[in-house]
Amino acid sequence: MEPWFWWVVAGMFLAGIHVFIQRIGSARGYRSNVLNTYSALVSGVIGIAVGLWLEGWQEITLWMIVIAVVNGTIYLVGSNLRMDAMKHIDTTILLPLHKFVSPLFALLIGVLFFQEVLEITEWWGIVLGALVPLLLITKSENARQPNLTKGLWLMTISAFIVVVNAAVNKEAVLAFESVILFAAISHLGSAPLGIIASRIRNHRNKNNTEVDLVSDFSPELLRLSLICGVVQFASFTTFLYAFANNGPLAVVYTIHSLYILIPIILSIIFFNEHWNTRKVVAIVASIVAIVLMR
């Protein structure tokens, strides 16, 4: 196996844990922006310390900082939208759809911008994956979900944004020598946007009951943010190393998408989310589709 394969497999497992931590934050009523901003700060601080130790400050350039900050901003927006979608759709529905739609975007971007050639099995994967929404979205499911339509819109927008983020990551790690420092600056660069967004939202909605970035800060939020930040740093760095070792965008992203199994299973176990045979078939179909799209 190529080195990039093992990097993306490691990133896949870590990403699954990271998303489940976000699910915990969503269940506790934390704003997506709050948890993700604090986690980004933790991840960034860890990355700067590790990056300066292993790679040295001389690897940092102005152009790297600019690209990393833009990249971090894109990531925060996509992550916030995905976490917001979890408030409207069960994880067992959201993640299979999200991780089918986003690889589709990745394949399109790979073909159009990176000239990656699709094999016949990948096209079959697209056809199979198109059946997944038909298995998941029914009248009874619409009644069961808090707001299925809104959740689907948030999911689709988030899927597109995270793929754009992945494409920027691929270009950046090929352009810069320092992978760890780029990851760290990306996360630190997203934090100011998160703080500004929190202040604006508070100003507009004084009666919001969700946890605020400053006024409702708690030890529980701190602990969850620390854990989420550590996992986020490890997940993002291994994902970048897959690109740094010449992993193609479409293949790396679709393999990475298999992480959906982890938060889905954990959400069923710990949050008693609804599941049935139709959802199991949909999850299996989405996984087979992703494998074919490799």
Q: pLDDT (tens digit, 9 = 90+) per residue, 144-177?
A: 666 777 777 888 888 888 888 888 888 888 788 7
What DSSP designation does 119 have?
P
pTM above 0.75, yes or no: no
In angstroms, rounded to a whole number, what is the distance separating the alpha carbons of residues 253 and 89? 23
Residues 256/110, Cβ–Cβ less than 8 Å? no
Q: Which neighbouring-strand residues pair with 35?
A: none
- Backbone φ and ψ of 116, nearest 5°: -80, 135
Q: Where does the chain have alpha helices with state H?
A: 3-27, 32-54, 62-85, 91-114, 120-129, 132-136, 139-144, 148-175, 179-204, 219-244, 249-256, 261-271, 277-292
Residues 126/69, Cβ–Cβ less than 8 Å? no
14 vs 288, residue with greater confidence: 14
pLDDT, position 211: 47
**Rounded to whole angstroms, what are the CA distances from 14 to 20, 171, 227, 262?**
10, 22, 12, 9
Across the range 98-126, mean pLDDT stands at: 72
What's the chain's Rg over C-alpha atoms?
Answer: 19
- Backbone φ and ψ of 30, nearest 5°: -75, 140
> Does the structure show a pLDDT above 90 at 14?
yes
Question: How many residues in total does the chain contain?
Answer: 294
Residues 183/237, Cβ–Cβ less than 8 Å? yes
195: left (phi over 0), alpha (psi -120 to 50) or beta: alpha
Token representation of residue 294: 């490799």
Q: At what angle do helices 3-27 and 32-54 cross, to 10 degrees?
A: 150
In angstroms, rounded to a whole number, what is the distance separating the alpha carbons of residues 37 and 42? 9
In angstroms, rounded to a whole number, what is the distance separating the alpha carbons of residues 3 and 20? 27
pLDDT, position 277: 77
Q: What is the pLDDT of residues 183-232, one digit of tens each?
A: 888 888 777 776 776 666 666 665 555 445 555 567 888 899 899 999 99
Which of 59-63's residues contact partners 24+ apart within 8 Å by CB, and which partners? Answer: 59/176, 59/177, 59/178, 59/181, 60/178, 60/181, 60/185, 61/176
Q: Which neighbouring-strand residues pair with 18?
A: none
136 vs 103, residue with greater confidence: 103
